[in-house]
Structure 1
């Protein structure tokens, strides 16, 4: 996986965290750097942790399903991407509060990083160097989440659905690229 592909994947995975960060920013009276950093650490940390867990699980089954790994990567990324696109088109407004207590942030961080768990499984099949990859994904998500809080405090909800739509399309395209490379090259 090239650096550009990893960057696009990291951005795609971070769009859910960005959307929640925007929502958190919307609910704040003013930007507090400490709160933005805490939100970024939760989301970035879990976006790094979950692919590692997925990788560890995937490596155990790699030998048994090596002939189908490209299909698995395509299907997992496609499902995740499709769900993100679907959520972005949902007109129902989501409510969000400014709370950054441990329980709230843990639940949000886990919920926004479940798709990264599936991506970690695909990393095992693609022989990706996991430590640099998860570090890159975690740092990218941290930065994007902090920016999301700022965007939320300044611009409002305009960018939330666009972020989810963009992230979903990126994940679908990466899954398609993996499938095409394995089938035709």
Structure 2
């Protein structure tokens, strides 16, 4: 306990900054989890998706940190735009599938590739944050563990909340979830 009190104000500031970044990145997983959860999802699948999201929230910033600061300006904007475009496509497809009815299959988060695609879409901005953090001397292990824990934890909260809200909304839950994904995609592009 005494060791925690002996930490410099700069280290506390760095820790607080990384924690705020982790929460901000986790809010994407939380918000988009609400959209996916509205379609209806089992608790076991919530756990699986959240673990994959947590892993991506660890891997993507690590990749970004190792990409280096000289790529930050270029890849930061490209990664966010790609994530936004992906979310717009997924959201549009969910709305289309909901309007069209049972003839069309929406984005299937229950498949392995569906989970990977969803985790990638909510974690791609972690890459650009990682590129930015690569410029600064930061505790890499602490940073990526906080990103992973908060990203996974906040996705669990979003998916569970979406599941409950989706049961109240009924058949319109998929369309509303698609609209949420679409709006977050626009947010990334604008």
Aligned residue runs from structure 1 range 165-184, under 5 A: none
Q: Which has the larger radius of gyration?
A: 2
- Moved runs in structure 1, 4+ residues, more than 3 A? 96-99
How far apart, in 1, do the equivalents of 2:113 and 2:184 lie? 24
Matched, 1:7 2:19: yes
Pairs aligned (count)? 151
Matched, 1:152 2:158: no
Instruction: Kindly state the Cα deviation for residue 98 of structure 1 after the two structures are TM-superposed.
Output: 5.7
TM normalised by structure 1 equals: 0.64
For the residue of structure 2 that corresponds to 1:127, the secondary structure is coil
How far apart, in 2, do the equivalents of 1:14 and 1:48 lie? 12
For the residue of structure 2 that corresponds to 1:125, the secondary structure is coil
Post-superposition CA distance 1:48-90 (Å, at most 9, x none): 10000111111xxx5xx5xxx8xx59x948x959x97xx89xx
Gaps of 5+ in 1: 169-185
Q: Which residue of 2 aligns with 1:104?
A: 114
Gaps of 5+ in 2: 1-12, 95-105, 167-175
TM normalised by structure 2 equals: 0.62
Q: Which residue of 1 aligns with 2:125?
A: 115
Instruction: Kindly state the Cα deviation for residue 103 of structure 1 after the two structures are TM-superposed.
Output: 0.8
1:51/1:119 contact within 8 Å kept: yes
Q: Which residue of 1 aligns with 2:61?
A: 51
RMSD between aligned residues: 3.7
Q: Which residue of 1 aligns with 2:33?
A: 21
